[in-house]
Amino acid sequence: MEVLQPTSWGEALAAKGEYPEAVPLAGGTDLLVELNFDRRRPETIIDLTRVAELSEWSRVDGEVRLGAGVTYTRVISELTSELPGLAIASRTVGSPQIRNRGTIGGNLGSSSPAGDALPPLMASGARIELAATNGTRVVPVDEFCTSPKHNVLAPNELIAAIHVPAASGPQQFSKIGTRNAMVIAVASFALSLDPSARSVGTGIGSAGPVPLRAIEAERFLNGVLDEEGLWASRGPLSEASVTRFGQLASEAARPIDDVRGSAAYRRHALAVMAERTLAWAWGEYRGVA
């Protein structure tokens, strides 16, 4: 196996252009497992860990531009106020060792429906910057994954960065697993309330072939908040509205029965998580949480 070790972003893109079948390596917390279990035996690996540009983040026009190589640990320690939903989700990933190595770009690259970074990125309306030697394109995160473990990356492209609008209001994430830590989600749900745009965003994990948005639930809640003037009044949400939001979130899922849980359980869990995250986030917005 050949391992290429570019030391700049330009070199990394040139390497991917020259060896389109080469597999990029970031933290290695997914890829090394695949290699160790002989699920994958690529001829060439492009080790991205020496590309300093990938592990940088910056603020640009109300957005955070998160280099693909930024780790969960850094999201937690440096970006909790700008990206609270992603930071909450990052705290649930693996163990400290995995959070120190694992990156947001690697989570996208793996394109698992259970990837914990994906629901909060969906809820925030993030966009993924993909680059090749011949140019850059930006793809909405809800169009990035195409099927389990597949995405829209072309063979000559790398994930450069993730553009995430900085939060203007409360964000929440909830994950159900078979235990509290070191566990793949049986189902997860992310919610973002954006008072400046007066809009609601959602993301569903581990309950469909790809991470999903609960679009009808978003529409319903946007309607309630507008019609009842709740963004301005910060009044309470009715129990019926919270329950309906949970139902619609659960209906947006496309779960399967598998070793981790049944489709019926996942739907039930999603309704509960959607109701809870909404109660937490709305309580925070009202200043009563």
Of residues 202-231, those binding ligand FAD (CB under 6 A):
none
Please state, as a whole number, how many other Cβ atoms lie within 10 Å of the Cβ of residue 107.
26
Least Å distance, CB 3 to ligand FAD, is 13
Residue 182 in tokens? 């070191």
Least Å distance, CB 131 to ligand FAD, is 9
Among 23, 121, 162, 270, binds ligand FAD (CB under 6 A): 23
Instruction: Count the helices and strands in the chain (H runs, E runs).
Output: 11, 13
Span interacting with ligand FAD, options 104-112, 212-220, 245-253, 269-277, rule CB under 6 A: 104-112
Residue owning tokens 């008072």: 195
Does position 102 interact with ligand FAD (CB under 6 A)? The reply is yes
263 to 282: interface string for ligand FAD, x by CB under 6 A: --------------------
Least Å distance, CB 196 to ligand FAD, is 29
Least Å distance, CB 224 to ligand FAD, is 31
Task: Identify whether the C-beta of residue 63 lies closer than 8 Å to the C-beta of residue 20.
Answer: no
Looking only at the bridges linking them, the beta strands covering 199-205 and 150-151 are unpaired
Among 4, 13, 15, 48, binds ligand FAD (CB under 6 A): 48
- Compute the CA torsion angle 246, 94, 184, 3 (nearest 10 deg): 130
Least Å distance, CB 117 to ligand FAD, is 6
What b/e sequence results for 157-177 when a residue is b if at least 16 CB atoms lie within 10 Å of its CB, and e otherwise?
Answer: bbbbbbbbbbbebbbbbbbbb
Please list the residues that pair with 127 across neighbouring strands.
Answer: 140, 163
Does position 26 interact with ligand FAD (CB under 6 A)? The reply is yes
> What residues make contact with ligand FAD under the rule CB under 6 A?
23-31, 33, 48, 68, 92-94, 98, 101-103, 105-107, 109-110, 115-116, 153, 158-159, 182
